[in-house]
Each structure stands twice: as structure tokens, then as C-alpha cells.
Structure 1
Amino acid sequence: MRHLRRAGALAAVLGLLLAGTASAPAAATGDPRYRNPVSAGFADTFADPVIVRGEDGFWYAYGTTDPLREGEGVFHRVPTARSADLVDWTYVGDAFGPDQRPPYAAEGAAFWAPDVRRIGDRWVMYVTVTDTTVSPEGSDFAVGAATAPSPTGPWTFADEPVVAPRPGGGGGWLWTIDPTQFTDVDGTNYLYYGSYYGGISVTALTPDGLRATGESTLVAIDNKFEGSYVLRRDGWYYLFASTANCCAGPATGYSVQVGRSRSPKGPFVDRDGIGLTASRAGGTPVLTQNGNRWIGVGHNGFVTDLSGQDWIVYHGIDRADPYLDEPFGVNERPMLLDRLDWIDGWPTVNAGAGPSEGARRAPVTTGRVDERFTGRLDRWRDAGDWRVTDGRLVGDGTLHARTALGGDVRAETDLRPGAASSAGIDLGGRVQVRVDVAAGRLVARDGARTASAPLPAGYDPTDPVNLAVEVRGRALTAQLSPARLGDQLAVVSLRLARPVAGRLALTATGGDAEFDNVSLARLYQEARRAVPEPRVGAPLRGYSDEFADGLDAGWTWVREDPAATVSGGSLRWPVQGADLTGTGNTAGVLLRDAPTGDYVVETKVTLDLGEETVRNYQQAGLVAYVDDDRFARLAQVAIWNTRQVEYGYELPFAGQPVYGGTIVGTPATTTWLRLAHRVDPVNGEHEFRAGSSRDGRNWTWGGVWTFPAGTTPRIGLVAHGGAEPAVTAEFDYLRFTR
């Protein structure tokens, strides 16, 4: 998370304690659909969002220090919102008062990118503290922590930072920002943090989660990633990270990529096996702009609804309204929510379709059984000693729900085993899932069939946890987690003797246990197939050039470069010490007309940029070009020590050119590049989606940049960004297909 400018005045606290007295969430009513942005009801901007579910059954969202509304001019100190359904949100105050800061924070420090977790019996908020007393020059970022008895506060800062400011080897301070916490199955707490200057690192934490301990490990390279989030699924650890510029207004190309590992400390690799710490850094796209209203989609959190469907929460920029109040001020980044699907072991948003703009099916936040224990137990059949105390069910024995649900189901409860020797959920009067405190295991049982997993060594049965059980056909999966955020204390899987009838019971033996937020819902339907990628069709030979015998007559130059030559079936072009961005416009552009309608254009470019060394910003590749101030450039490029495929974009805005970019795949020395063009049938815009490949066969498709209806983009080649050291780009062809 990075700001275009520093925060100024800060908001007064509005008193989060009012949330603690609110009634339980009501059952969902009306149209079960929603539209982005979900923060529209309370905020114009709500950047770097995360969501947790509280013990009261409400969902709580937290955002970064910014004004909430146009014209407000007040920078809130971790603004907080509450929802009963993940769709309609109400602002309930700021986490911190106007004079509340940790002792090491400088006066006027802002709090960015909060991450809220439950550790033991309390909640911990990790935040970026933008200025500390370590350096009078500022920008000495640190990760701080505050604790609270509930998600609504009151929050109390720890006296010491979790991760203190870190001096950079090249001067200044490493960007110790964007914290995210993760608890592993052995009970170890970890913190991931960092950004472009310094990369993303992970460190173990003390059991209370308030101090880093031991050595940190780099898990994602600098100059490419920030805004991490980690979750565990099917034995894999997934590191989500945002890439490119968060805050370039109408040219913002922020997006989310992912790598996975068998260890929370890495190494994390992408779908092609490329490491996230490599100079030619890997990263499988999860979320990127698709040509609709939303650009700059990134800095994600994670939430699971009551059906078991995963959702990604993130911020985006409306390309028609990119700034709060005035051009080039605070980037306006409202909170968006979309379905997160898992296809062939990899996460992707809306099966690869990207951020949603129109009406979508809303998350499931009310189950067929949906119990918050605010009154009598009329919907339950008692067998044992049960009572409702302070909004929780307390007792010993078995309590049967009178409502049943057939088919594939998901059941869950917030649970404190307490004095019980075991406590958990029964399904269908046959299948049992127990937190067996006496044995120190999570156990699933179906008659003689059993499966179990150890509880962490430091597990405390008086701490609240969430127990979730999913049954799909004859496959049962149960997981115990601190707060439903993708980290688990234990996971078990069991093959059932036969499908189970969806009748739910709660059970405790050997003493009183506490239950709350009990639900039974239809299990979500898995997305099994991604949306189709752009299709390469028949060749359009009249528009293509194989560079067999010089340049054909279809080419024209903008600022001809006589050093570019054609021989032996290749265009060889020494990289120029020039560029197209801003007002300089000194680089050459080799162009030709594009066909009308939809098409795909491809080139193969060899450019030896080496690795690890700084060669800013030598590049070569494709360009869709209207003029010097409106173009989209897809190139393999040296960005400091990294080599990336950048899809840059410049457009005129508020009287000056604005440049940004998004990242598409990983380059090799020889890289294949594609732009897939379509004309939007509704508004006539030209949409160009970018793709790259390291072998010409396996493609990674990324974001979309658009050109207004009425423009006529031409297609061309570029080789520029820096003449030293000398390097020549070699293009094998330019091919159009339809």
C-alpha cells in the first residue's frame, strides 16, 4: 500500500463500542445480488481492505488512513465498517482516536494497510506506522500492533513495534509496510511484510503475536511485489501479492499475483514453477483489470461465506473517477468484493473473468440453520444440560437442530471447548467431528472410519476457535481455525461410508463447552473451468510481416531510427536511449495499420537484459499507438534488479499525460508477446488484453487497457528505455490472426 501524498489531519474517534451493543445480524432479505463497490454506502474510498467476522456474527471491514468521502478532507485512523451480509456496510468509527499512537510513532504518523487477526483470546491489528521517532527525515516505516477484546475495540497499541524501521543498503529506509499475519497448523505465528524497496519477508512471531523473533526470510523479490496475504489450502501455502503501481490515477495497473509453497517460509513458485524471488520473477495472475469500469485492482484480503465459498476483498479505481476531490490528489480506491475460485489448484477471480461491475450473486451469510443464541432454544431439541448465557450456548450433552438440509452441506460454529474433554458437530446422527481436548486431536468419525490431526502444542481450549465441516458427496473435510481467514490449527479429511443427511447437532462431553454462530448451509458449487482465453485464429497475411526481405510497404515510422535493420528474417533494433512516457517523446515507433474488428497480434522478441543487475529501463516489445500521449506498450523490461513483462499505458488527463502499467507474466531472453483486440459492442471502446509466453506455447494472460471509441490505434514495435549498456532487440515477425 502506497499513498500519492502523506496524510494530513486525522479523524476523531466515533466510538466503536456502539457496535458491541448492536443486535445480532438479521436474516438476509430481498434480492440476493450485489454490485461493486460494496463500500459505496459509507465511503467513496476505502483502500487496502480486510474483513473479519466477529463473535457477534457481524462482519467488520478495516481500511487505510484516507478521507472516506469527496470533500471531507479528514484522514481517518483505520476507518471501520460493519455488515450483516458482506454487501451493505455501515461506517462505525475509527479504530484509533486523534491523539492515539504508539510511543515510537512520530506526531502525524498515518496508519496504513491494517490486518486484523484473532490470536488466543484477543484480537490483534497489525498496521503500517508511516513515521517513527527513529529518523527526523521520515519514511522510517514500521509495523505496529494493537490489541482489543473484540473486532470493535477498544484498541490499545503495544509499546514496541512488531518490526522496527530497517535501514536500506542503498540509503533511506526499507519499506516495512503492508503487514499480514498467518498462524500455521503447528501453532506458530508468522508475519509477512514489505514492499518494492526491500521485497516481502516473513518472520516468526512470539506466541502473543506482538514481536518478531528469529531471522526473517525473503519470500518475494523487491521491485515487484507488495501487499501480501497468505492462506493455506490442501497442504499448500499461497502467497498473494500485489504488483505494479497502486496509485497512478487513470493509468493505475495494480493487480494480484500468487505463488505457492509447501512451507510458510517458501520458496513460493508460480504455476510455471518460477520463483517469486527470482530476478525474472514469477507470479500467476489472480486478479487483473478486464476492460470494464475497474482498474488498479489489488491489495487483497480474504473471507469465506457460510456456504464455504471463498471471496476476495480488494480495492479498485473507477477509471472515470480516479481521484478524490481533485486530479492528482488522493487516489479514490473503494472496496470491492468478488468470488475467488480454485481451478486446478490455483486461485482466480470469477473463474478468470476478473473484477465484476454488474449485478452478481451475493455471498451466503444466512444458513438454513442460523443460530446466534439471542433467545430461547425453540429451534433445538435438548438432550443434556444446555443454557443460553450472554448470547452463547453453554452446556454438556447433545443439542439437535430441528431443521434439516439434504445434499452437500457446510456446518460451522464458533467454539470454546472449555472444561469439556471433547466438543464439536454431528451430522446426520452418524458422522462426528470433535475437538478432542483430552487426546489433543481434531477427530472425524463415521462408524469405524476415522481420521484425525494433532492440535497445536500450545492449544488452549478456553480460547475461541471456529470449527467448519464440509461434506461433498462422500468426502468430508473439517478444519479448525482461529478466525476463518485461511489459516488452520488442524485439518482432517475422511471418506464417508455413504452420503450423510444434513441434520446438525452440537455435542460436548466431560464438561461445559461454549458454542455460538452456528450455521448449516448448502455447500457452494465449485467452478471447475476457467473462462476462455483469447483465441488465435487464421493468419491475416496482408497485415503481417515475417521480415523476410526488409520492411514491407505497410510500415511507417514515428521518429525513424536508422540503426534498425532487417536481415536474415529478423528486425534488429539497438535499444535507444529514449522513451515515450511524459512529454519527452523522443523514442522511435515503428507502426502499421491494424485490421478492423477483433484480432490478435503477436511478436517474438529476443532481448538479453541479463539478470540481477540494474539496467533501467531497457525494453522492447509491442505497442498499440494512437499518438505520443495515448498508447499501450507491452514489453519485456529491466526494472532495477528485476526483469518483467510490463504492459504500460499512457493517456492524457487533466491537461497532462499520465503513465502507469500492469504486469503480465515472466520474460525469458526470448519472449513471445500478444495483444488481443476487441471492440466493446456497447460503447465502441477498443480493448487490448495482453499476453506473454516464455516458449510460444504456454501463455499467461493479463490486464486490459482501453482506447476511446472513435480513435484508430495502430500496432507497432518499440525498443527503447536506455542505450547503456548496448543491447539489440531482435524481432522475428509481427503476425495478425483472426
Structure 2
Amino acid sequence: MRRIALLCVLFSATAVFVAPPTVAAAPSTYTNPVSAGTVDTFPDPAMIRGKDGLWYAYGTTNPIRVSAGDPNEHILPILRSPDLVSWTYVGDVYAVSAKPSWWPSGTRPWAPDIRYVDGQYHLTYSMSTGGIALVTGPTPLGPWTDHGRIVPGSGSGCPSGSIDQAMYTDIGTGAHYLIWGSYDTICVSRMNATATALTGAVTQIARGRRMEGGFLVRRDGMYYLFYSDAGCCDGAFSGYTVKVGRASSPLGPFTTPSGRNLMDLTSKDGIVLAGNGNGWVGPGHNAIQTDLSGQDWLVYHAIASSNPEFGPVTNPWGGTISNLSRRPLMLDRLDWIDGWPVVRAGAGPSTGAQPAPVSTWTVGSSFNAGLGGWGTTWPIATETDAGGYLSTSTAGTTLSNASVSGDLRVEGDLRASTGSVGLVVSQADANNRIVAWINRAQQRLVVDVTVAGMTTSASSPLPASFDYDSWHNVAAERRGSTLVTWVTADRLRDAVSTVTVTLPAGAVSSGRIGATSTGGVAAADNLGAAPLYPLPPARVPNPVLGAQLPAYSDEFTTGTTGWTWLRASAATVSGGQLVWPTQAAELVGGTNTASVLHRPVPAGDFVVETKLQFDGTAGNQQAGLVLYENDNRFLKLTHTVLPLAGGGGTVLHVTEFGKEAERPTTTPPTAVASAPMFGGPPALTTWLRLVYRYDAANNEHDVRMASSTDGVNWTWGGTWSLPRAGALRIGLVSMNATGATARFDYVRTYAVA
């Protein structure tokens, strides 16, 4: 065959499917939490699609079955689903009676991560007593082989807690990495070729107050480090928030949309998911899954403010744990907009019925129940992990009965002990087809586009360590004239090779899918095609300010007329500013000694904004806005200085959004300080905003925070909800530790447009 250069043309992007086979109905909608009715809680979820075509989820040790009459904790519980939204409990990684003898007394395994490496499932987990351990197994359910600790509890080279790990396999080299860290630094190190031990130097890649839960993916040539910060697990007072930075290397440096380095000593922008006032609080500790259309989904936990905690439960050692938060399994669409990921275009955690992930192909089969719409085919074989699959020892091609066309995602799990094996992306006939090959002889991913018998090729190298004898997922996404193809072990956006081509004129746009082999022993499984996911919508617009309300605003030009002091302070008005040295006083729990300068709020919804200059340098100094009801019921947004855990006296500057109110699950309800949310980075001068809306349906104050370092570009953060009991007032504070000065240029209140 003659080879020609690829030509750039466009063809129809409308998906048209011909004679699809009958498949089991998949749910068209779902409602969070997706674990409802199966387990009561499922914190820190990790997820993988097994080679049997089913999804498996793994969670932190927790009392997952209290509603079923089982009050005890389960050690790293496992769920299974055919569609990402209908889950069944299928067991635990460890039975309580089978805990490893080397575990320190009192260990509670946390935060599992799951990967598929060279034919084995690698499950890492954190230990509450310190350190990260590894088990491997031939299926998503084991049986598991214990590899012990791969990161020590201390002395790992990372200054933070040795928990919250995730693996990553890099493109081109196939090098494995481990990301870990908590409270307040995230680190990364290279692993050995078998992904069973650390071998490289430990590199710090991110730090921030309560930063943890790192999860690395690669998309469009960039590496994205997802993480969570603020308070994860304090019931209705959890402020967990998912954020992200990106880099051109898995070792960083990672930067946010505003250009801040994740190693900067500030809170960060790049918010992916935050509480939105709809009853879900503390969304975080995420993983990512991709459905059969190519749409990404954020997998995470969150807490229902209406049912936030368990009563006392028994841990695996027979001890009692009180006030454990309920953190069920959540799932929401992850959109990539202008190069950055965000959940539901910025709408946050979902409630009510949502369009479900695509979990069945229009054309395709897992071969677990026969051919499933396949015509001329290779013989079906079986094995424990994959179930049914297609296998051949001769050269040839197996194709679906039905044809597909338009914008598609086509994928399959392939392996070849000898020769080369390929994914048939589309075939009209032998002279008109598109094939993505795992080419063993060339050690490359090769994409062949054949038009009227003439073939053009594009390729990229496979790693020298590539294991051709184990399953790899080959996926191809065609949108218009662009075809992107990549190879992964487990569909977790860690491609080891990728090829992008522009399809030439006449390239087949309607045909059958399948697998092909050049000879030798080859196998194919989970072959299918589905319409490609739609392009993401525009981001949800941020709140818009209406007219300024002069009666509720102050430029601080003539004193503090209209304001009232709660506990007088040494603040003065000078040069058009309220100048207020920080006090050695606080508003937390029963310690209510700080001054509050306050005034009434307008009727209806409103926005209050201040411009704050703050020169804090010592831990816990803070100043900013407060919406105040009384000393035990308020919301505050401050520029706060906090110590960096393990930083040897180093401090962080954060935008801190906190809530204090009665904890609803205590009898009688007692006042507590919130586990705060953190917004974007503050500066020497920071603009702070609180957007107030009254939620009449739930009789709640819903308040969203925003901050800016130039008064023009704003980082919009999460929302706290406060059950309405009494009237709020607009207030200012400057407190916690002496030695700093807050200078408020103004307080301006606006209607909400």
C-alpha cells in the first residue's frame, strides 16, 4: 500500500447510529448520593473500571452499614456497579479478623487508591497511625498480597502527614509516581518499575492550610493536581473544597488560574468544587472516572447538613469513636472549560435528578454473556479477572455487526503476547478503515488511516517498560476531523502514549468497530462505541452587584456614625480609613472577648464588600468582615495568618471563611467554631465580599464568599448556610493576636442584581 501525507479536512460531526444491538437499559438519570440505599457512608472514594467491564469503588474504613444493623467499621469497603450510579456492597479489603499483624495497634486504614499495573491491581492505603501501605491482587476483589509499608509514618522526606496517597503513571516513560501528603504539604516521588516502592527523591509540590488528597491526571498535554483543603470531617461544619493547579511535569511547578504557585504560602484559587448552600457541605477528596462517552466525572464525598454524623461506633480494634461524619459517595459531571476543570460548569454539588453517565455502548460488548452483537469473530475465552473476552492466534479482524458514524468514542482492552493488536475505530472495508495499533515490533502506538487502499500513519512511542502481555485500554475520540487516540492501563487519564491526527479527505466516517491482529496470540475485551460527550457549557455566571445602598455603606471619612461597638476597641478613623490594631481576643466557642463593630443589614438579599489592608505576620492574626447574630452565631470572612504544619514557624496568609453556630447533633445543641473554607490568595491589600441570600424554603441564611487582590478579578468560593434564628448585622473584626494592623478603606453594601 502507498503511504501519503495526512490532509486537513472537516467532516460531519453529527452522530448517526445504524442498527444498534439490543442492550440492557442504563439509567437515564441519577440522584446524589449514589451510595444511598447501599451504604451509609463512603469517605475518600477511589474508583476503577475492572477488566470485567464493571466499576469498583473503594472507601476509607468506616461504619458503612449502620442502617443494616451493623454498627461496626469495615476495613476499606468495596462497592461494585455496572453504570457508576447503581452500587452493590461486595466486601472489604480486610476482614476485621484478618488484620495484618504488623499494623500498629489502633490503625484505621484510610483513603485507598486503586490502579492497574502490569496485570495486577495496586491498592495503596493510608494508616491513621502513619505511613502508606500497598496490597496487590489479580482482580478488583483480590485476593490481596500484602507488601507492607511503602512510605514510613515519619522520615519519608515529606514534612506533612504520610497519608492521602495516589499513584500516577507518566506518558512516554511509563514511570510510576506516588503523590501523598496532608496538613499541610503534598509531595511526590518516583516509584520503581513494579510500582511497589519509592525510588526517587521526594519533591514538595504544594502546600497550604489543611491541604491533602492529591490526585494527578493528564489532559491536553498538561498535568493537573487536584487536592482538597480546609476542614474535611466536622459534620455540618466541614469546609472541604476541591482545588487544582497545573504543570508541564508531574514534578511541578503547579500553578493556579491566577498564576499562583501551589508552593506559595497562601490559600489558592483554582476552585473545582465547593459547598453551594444546597444541603451538601464539605465536598472533597476526589478521584476521577471517565464514562463510555469520554465524559469525565468527579468522584468525591460530601456531608448532608441534615444528617451529618453517626452516634458512637466501634472501630476495628474494639474502641469507640464518637461524632464520626457521614460522608456518602457522590458523583458529578466534571467540565473542562478554558483549560481548567470545574464541576457542573461551576454549579457545585448536585441535588435532584441529573443526566446519568453513559454506561452502555450503542455498539459493543463485554463478552461476559456471549458475543453481544458481534459477527465474524474470534473465539470467546474466559479468565477470572476479565470474564469473557475474544482471543485469537491467527492474523485477522473481528468486527461488530452494526455500523456507527459521527462523533464517537471507541475503546477496547487489548493485549498481544506476540505480534501486534489493534483497535478498529471504523471500517467500511479493508481498503477504508482506521486502526489504532499497539505495535510490538515498533514499540509504538500507531494510528493507520486507510482511504481507498492508501494508508497514512502517525505514531508515538510506548514506554520501554510497556507490558504487552497485560491488558491496556486503547481509546479513540473523534470530533469533526480530529482523532485523538491514547493508551492507558486503567482509564484513569494517565496515558502512556497518545496520538492526535487530522483525518484526510475521504477518511471513513461510517463503519464497524472491532479488533485486529497481525498474528500470534492476541486478545480483545470491552469493545464498544458511544456518541462522544458534548462540549461543555459556559461557566455558571458569578453574582452581579446591583445598586449601592448608601444607608448601609461607609467610606470612613467622618468617624463611625451608624455603627455600634460590641466591646469597645482602640480603632480610630484616619485618612479615610478605619485603623484597627489586632486584639488579643477571640470569637470562638466560649471565648467571646473580641470587639465587633456592627450595623444593620438591608432588607432582602445583598452584597457587602470591604477593601482591607492587613500587615499580619504572626499566627492567627486576622481581620475582615462578619455577618453577626450573636457571639455564637456568625459567618466571617477574614485575611488570616496561620502556621504551616511542619513548617518550623513558617506562616500562611489565607482567605478564611468560617461559620460558628450550634452543632445540631448534640443535646442540648452547643456552640462550636466551624472547620473553615479557604478561598483565593490574599495580599497586603485584599478586597472581601459576602453575598447574602435568604433561602425561604429551608429558612436559612446562605452566604457566599469572594476575594480579590486587585478589586477587579475575583475568586468566588463556597457558601455557608446558617439556620435563621435572629437578625444578622454587618460587622468588622480585627483580632486573635496583637502585633498587626487592619486598615479598612470602606464598607459598601449593594443590592443583588
Task: Return the TM-score normalized by structure 1.
Answer: 0.91
Q: State the shift of 1:482 in Å.
A: 1.0
- Extract structure 1 runs of 4+ deviating beyond 6 A: none
Distance in 1, matches of 2:157 and 2:641, equals 20
- 1:414: which partner in 2? 413
Name the structure 1 match of 2:244: 258
1:543 aligned partner, one-letter code: Y
| Residue 157 of structure 1: aligned partner | 146
Deviations 1:156-180 (A, max 9, x none): 2114x1111214999xx94100110
Which 5+ residue runs of structure 1 have no aligned equivalent? 1-25, 132-140
1:147 pairs with one of 136, 150, 168: 136
Instruction: Please list, as runs of the form range in 1=range in 2, the aligned pairs for 1:328-367 lying within 5 A after superposition.
Output: 329-367=323-361
Q: Which residue of 2 aligns with 1:225?
A: 211
The letter for the 2-side match of 1:479 is W
Equivalents in 1 of 2:495, 2:613: separation in Å?
45
- Of residues 188, 208, 230, the one that matches 2:175 is 188
Q: Partners in 1 of 2:725 and 2:25 — Cα distance?
A: 44
Which stretch of the first structure deviates more once superposed, 580-589 or 161-170? 161-170
Q: Does the Cα contact within 8 Å between 2:43 and 2:301 map onto a contact in 1?
A: yes
Residue number in structure 1 paired with 2:85: 87
Offset, 1:28: 4.8
Q: Distance in 2 between matches of 1:328 and 1:695?
A: 45
Q: Which residue of 2 aligns with 1:682?
A: 697
Please, what is the CA RMSD of the aligned residues? 2.0
Instruction: Answer yes or no: is 1:649 the counterpart of 2:659.
Output: yes
Give secondary structure in 2 for the equivalent of 1:321: coil
Asked whether 1:737 is paired with 2:750, we answer: yes
The match for 1:696 is 711
After TM superposition, the structure 1 = structure 2 runs for residues 10-49 of structure 1, keeping only pairs within 5 Å, are: 27-29=23-25, 31-49=27-45
Supply the distance in 2 between the matched residues of 1:45 and 1:675 (Cα, whole angstroms).
32
Question: What SS class does the counterpart of residue 542 from structure 1 fall into?
Answer: helix
Change (3 A) 1:334 1:457: same
Go from structure 1 to structure 2 and tell me whether the alpha carbon gap of 1:573 and 1:358 turns closer, same or farther (over 3 Å shift): same
Does the residue aligned with 1:212 lie in a helix, a strand or coil? coil
Secondary structure at the aligned position of 1:402 is classed as coil
The answer to whether 1:606 aligns with 2:602 is: no
Q: How does 1:572-611 map to 2 (within 5 A)?
A: 572-610=579-617
Report the Cα offset of residue 44 of structure 1: 1.0
Question: Cα–Cα, structure 1 residues 405 and 596, in superposed 2: closer, same or farther, change >3 Å?
Answer: farther
Partner SS state of residue 227, structure 1: strand
Matches within 5 A, 1:290-439: 290-325=276-311, 329-377=323-371, 379-382=373-376, 386-390=379-383, 391-395=388-392, 396-429=395-428, 430-439=433-442
Matches within 5 A, 1:503-522: 503-522=512-531
Task: Please say if residues 208 and 265 of structure 2, whose CA atoms lie closer than 8 Å, have aligned partners that are also in contact.
Answer: no
Contact 1:664 1:700 in 2 (8 A): yes
What CA distance in whole angstroms lies between the structure 1 residues aligned with 2:205 and 2:699?
A: 43
Structure 1 CA distance for aligned equivalents of residues 26 and 527 of structure 2: 23
User: What's the counterpart of residue 13 of structure 2?
Assistant: none
Structure 2 match to 1:19? none
Deviation at 1:193, TM superposition (A): 0.7
- Paired letter, 1:368: T
Q: Percent identity?
A: 43
Q: Deviations over 1:278-323 (max 9, x none)?
A: 1124341011000011001100111000010000111111111111
- The structural deviation recorded for 1:328 is 5.4
Q: Distance in 1 between matches of 2:204 and 2:264?
A: 11
Structure 2 contact 269–715 (Cα < 8 Å) conserved:
no
Cross-structure match for 1:550: 559
**Separation in 1 of the partners of 2:79 and 2:748?**
51
Do the aligned partners of residues 659 and 328 (structure 1) sit closer, same or farther apart at CA in structure 2, a change above 3 Å counting? farther
**2:539 corresponds to:** 530
Q: Aligned AA for 1:590?
A: L
Q: CA offsets per residue over residues 227-284 of structure 1, 9 Å max, x none?
A: 1111010111111111001112211101111101000011111001101111124341
The answer to whether the 8 A contact 2:157-2:202 is kept is: no
Which piece of structure 1 moves more, 369-378 or 519-528?
Answer: 369-378
Q: Distance in 2 between matches of 1:630 and 1:54?
A: 48
Q: How far, CA to CA, are the matches of 1:36 and 1:695 in structure 2?
A: 38
Aligned residues of 1:589 and 1:718 also touching (Cα < 8 A) = yes
Q: Which has the higher contact order (CA 8 A, sep 6+)?
A: 2
Q: Please tell me the residue identity of whatever aligns with 1:41.
A: G
When structure 1 is superposed on structure 2, of 538-547 and 146-155 the one drifting more is 538-547
- 1:57-97, Cα deviation, whole Å (9 max, x unpaired): 11111000111133633111101111111111111111112
* CA 1:226–1:297: 2 relative to 1, 3 Å: same
Q: Within 2, Cα distance between the matches of 1:494 and 1:446?
A: 9
Which deviates further from its counterpart, 295-304 or 677-686? 677-686
After superposition, the Cα gap between the structure-2 partners of 1:253 and 1:684, relative to the gap in structure 1 and judged at 3 Å, is same
Inter-partner Cα distance in structure 2 for 1:82 and 1:548: 64
Structure 2 Cα separation of the partners of residues 31 and 146 of structure 1: 33
Contact 1:276 1:283 in 2 (8 A): no
In structure 1, the residue matched to 2:638 is 635
> Counterpart in 2 of 1:17?
none
CA distance in 2, matches of 1:142, 1:169: 12
User: Partners of 1:675 and 1:689 in 2: how far apart?
Assistant: 6
CA deviations 1:554-610 (Å, max 9, x no partner) are x1121121x101111111110111111111111111111111222211111011124
1:560 maps to what in 2? Answer: 568
The structural deviation recorded for 1:677 is 1.4
Pairing 1:443–2:446 present: yes
Query: Quick check: 1:224–1:642 contact (8 Å CA) kept in 2?
Result: no
Secondary structure of residue in 1 paired with 2:190: strand
CA gap of 1:488–1:145, structure 2 versus 1, over 3 A, is same
Instruction: Tell whether the 8 Å contact from 1:423 to 1:513 is kept in structure 2 after alignment.
Output: no
- The aligned amino acid for 2:405 is G
For residues 502 and 246 of structure 1, what CA distance do their matches in structure 2 show? 49
Query: 1:619 matched to which residue of 2?
Result: 622
- With over 3 angstroms needed to count, the CA separation of the structure-2 counterparts of 1:669 and 1:269, relative to structure 1, is same
Change (3 A) 1:642 1:455: same
* Aligned partners of 1:477 and 1:494 also within 8 Å: yes
Inter-partner Cα distance in structure 2 for 1:113 and 1:409: 34
- Check whether the contact 1:101–1:157 (CA below 8 A) recurs between aligned residues: no
Aligned residue pairs total 691
Deviates more, 1:661-670 or 1:391-400: 391-400
Say if 2:73 is the partner of 1:64. Answer: no
Q: Distance in 1 between matches of 2:716 and 2:254?
A: 20
C-alpha deviation, 1:526, in angstroms: 1.9
* Farther-moved stretch of structure 1 (678-687 vs 302-311): 678-687
Q: Report the secondary structure of 1:158's partner residue.
A: strand
Please report the TM-score for the alignment, with normalisation by the length of structure 2. Answer: 0.89
SS in 2 for 1:351: helix
Deviation at 1:27, TM superposition (A): 4.9
1:13 match: none
- Cα distance in 2 for partners of 1:158, 1:30 equals 38
CA–CA separation in structure 2 for the residues paired with 1:604 and 1:566: 15
1:704 positional shift: 0.4
Which sits farther off after the overlay, 451-460 or 350-359?
451-460
Q: One-letter code of the match for 1:531?
A: V
The verdict on how the C-alpha distance between 1:130 and 1:27 changes in structure 2, with shifts beyond 3 A counting, is farther
> For residues 722 and 518 of structure 2, what CA distance do their matches in structure 1 show?
66
Say which of 708, 711, 730 aligns to 1:715.
730
What letter matches 1:705 in structure 2?
Answer: W
